[in-house]
Amino acid sequence: MFQPERMSRILVAGSKDQMDTIVRELYHQNAFHIEDFVEKEDEAYEGFRIGMPLAGASEASTELIKIRSMESMFGISPDTATTARTHSSPELRAGIDHKLAVLVRDVEESTAQRSKLEAQAKALEARATALEPFAAVPLDMDLYHGYEGITVFAGYVGSDVEIPVPHEKHYVPGGKGRQNFLVVFVPASDAEAANSALLEARFQAVPIPEGSGPVNDLIYDTRGKIAQINEQIAKIERNLEEKKSEYSELLVAYDEYFTAVVEQAEAPLRFATTEDAFVAEGWVPTERVEAIIAALTHATAGKVYVTRLDIGDDPKEVPVEYKNPNFSRPTELFMDIYSRPRYDEFDPTLLVSIVFPIFFGLILGDVGYGFVLLVASFALRKFLSGEAGNRLLDVLRNASIMSIIFGVLFSEFFGMGLPWESIIYTRHLNIGGHAVHHPMVAELLIVSVWIGLLHITLGRLIHVRNISRAMHKSHHATKEILAQLGWLSTMWGIVIVIWSMFAIPLMIDLTGFAPVAMGLNAASIVGVVLGLIGIVFIGMESPLELVEIPTIISHVLSYTRLVAVGLSSVAIAMVTNFIALDLIIGPQLESLSAVGVFIVLLGLVVLVIGHVLNTALGILGGGLHSIRLHYVEFFTKFYNGGGKKYNPFGMIRKFTED
């Protein structure tokens, strides 16, 4: 909590004949993050080269490609699939040559046959399309072919054309959505003159299909063949659907099995090897080091060498695994979007998981909207599958619960009041003369400023903590700590000066002190001194940072968006209610008529659409502004990020048993 999982760097070495055993045991432990070996000029690795895959890697990769091709064709994904039982590895190995091979062969033959039939159907469809313009011409298809002294023109034209040479012409006017069609027979010697006349009329030639007999008969025959082919395709697809239902569980199990085989077989590509030995370096959670050493020693009967290595001075080289309570794990998605924390810095995931829903609730504090979002966070799980989708919906669930809580405190339900007065502050506006109380906008804004001051102060103090606990402390560390304290001193100095000059509700009143000099009282002087000390500390680290001092005020005032965006949501809800209920529906209920019923229904549509749109705006406003305050105003005070994701060698099995 507040710190990533502690990691240890270990080296595993052994003879080549133990490589397979060690690889399988490391994969089974699912804890060893492999550091890929890169050939380099290093005396410690003189004579070492990148290893070669274990036996069977090529065959397993081929089988995996086939399986994933079938999964893609069937629309199956191991990420979303479920299974009633798990398959053992021996059972799967035993079924490779008969059950899996037969399935692959049948599916490949069926898909190849379907592709062939689809190509035939496409060709026949193109023929039918080409024949259709000729159906209105009173000529058999064989009359268009077989001439040596006659040239035939066929195509679309904007209007009838005068042909300046001897000819036979058939003009078919177009109807709705159809173009005019023209067929012209001319002597071959006059073809050039006829072609010139047609080009002037913007004639668009079409190919003349092969065939003989009436055109409608040819079209009918072609359509019949297409129907027969489509029946065969449908039969193949039914057969494939049956195979999908029968073998989907087996396919995802084989996917997992061969994925494990391939990953293990290709692991030596990440090791340093010689002709007789190999070395693998990587990272393991510190609490699991002893257990892994014991497991490797047992698996190899002691024929392995494992030792701890120095983790080094660069925190970016250490892989980072989150260590958070279950409640805050969904928020890890937001951290990864921004950047995973470095190994030696404060992990703010838990803070974000607590503060983000509170910010969201402050903005969208409405029982109705919160309940809608809470229902949506459960209903959408069937559509947003996968780990990332579930985490996003978990965050939405937590945020919607806070919206309901603040809705109770604000006494808001779709912009209307609840049966009780607001418990903390009212945000009801005077729209349509229905506001119960004047909204406490000023006090709400002051509360948001307090939130900003405390949030930013916390960020600066965390930065000090990060520097003091850094893995590698530079000579610049003291100046950096003083600079962070300088930023705090400047910010609070400005605040104290404001308090000494103005009596602001909900803030400390320092105006009562007697003036000392130039109209400034003792509190003002303390504030000025704090500000000057802070500026000096900031300048000691980097004089260029002094140009950023105005951001102190802008960052604090940025938190007022918690109130401003929330009030805009309230205003939209109340305006929607006023238009739909008071202006459209209300007058009709006084003397209801047939037309009035229609108008009432129209008012209900306006009401629903308005609140649906406001719900969408609430998600965007509450979500984007809440996370922005963390990313821009909070994280920039202490957070570097750039941590490497911990990716252990192994897998958590869902469909197979090792």
Q: Is the pLDDT of residue 431 over 80?
A: no
Residues comprising the chain, all counted: 658
| Upper half-sphere CA count for residue 468 (Cβ side, 13 Å) | 9
pLDDT surpasses 80 at 417: yes
In the chain, what is the straight-line distance between the N-terminal and C-terminal CA atoms, in Å?
32
pLDDT in tens, 239-248: 999 988 888 8
Residue 391 has pLDDT above 70, yes or no: yes
pLDDT for 422 equals 83
pLDDT of 526 above 90: yes
DSSP-derived secondary structure for 375-394: HHHHHGGGTS-SHHHHHHHH
State residue 438's pLDDT score.
53
pLDDT reported for residue 425: 84
CA dihedral 527, 532, 533, 538 (to 10 degrees): 130
For 364, the token pair is 């969208």
498 vs 471, residue with greater confidence: 498
Q: Are 421 and 412 in contact (CB under 8 A)?
A: no
Alpha helices in 79-149 (DSSP H): 89-94, 101-131
pLDDT at position 437 over 50: no
SS (H, E, C) 17-72: HHHHHHHHHHHHHCCCEEECCCCCCCHHHCCCEECCCCCCHHHHHHHHHHHHHHHH
Chain mean pLDDT for the chain: 90
Around 67, how many Cα atoms within 13 Å sit in the side-chain half-sphere?
Answer: 25
* pLDDT confidence tier of residue 528, bands split at 50, 70 and 90: very high
- pLDDT, tens digit, 9 for 90 and up, residues 125-154: 999 999 999 998 999 999 999 898 999 999
Summarize pLDDT for 47-59 with one digit per residue, the tens: 788 999 998 899 9
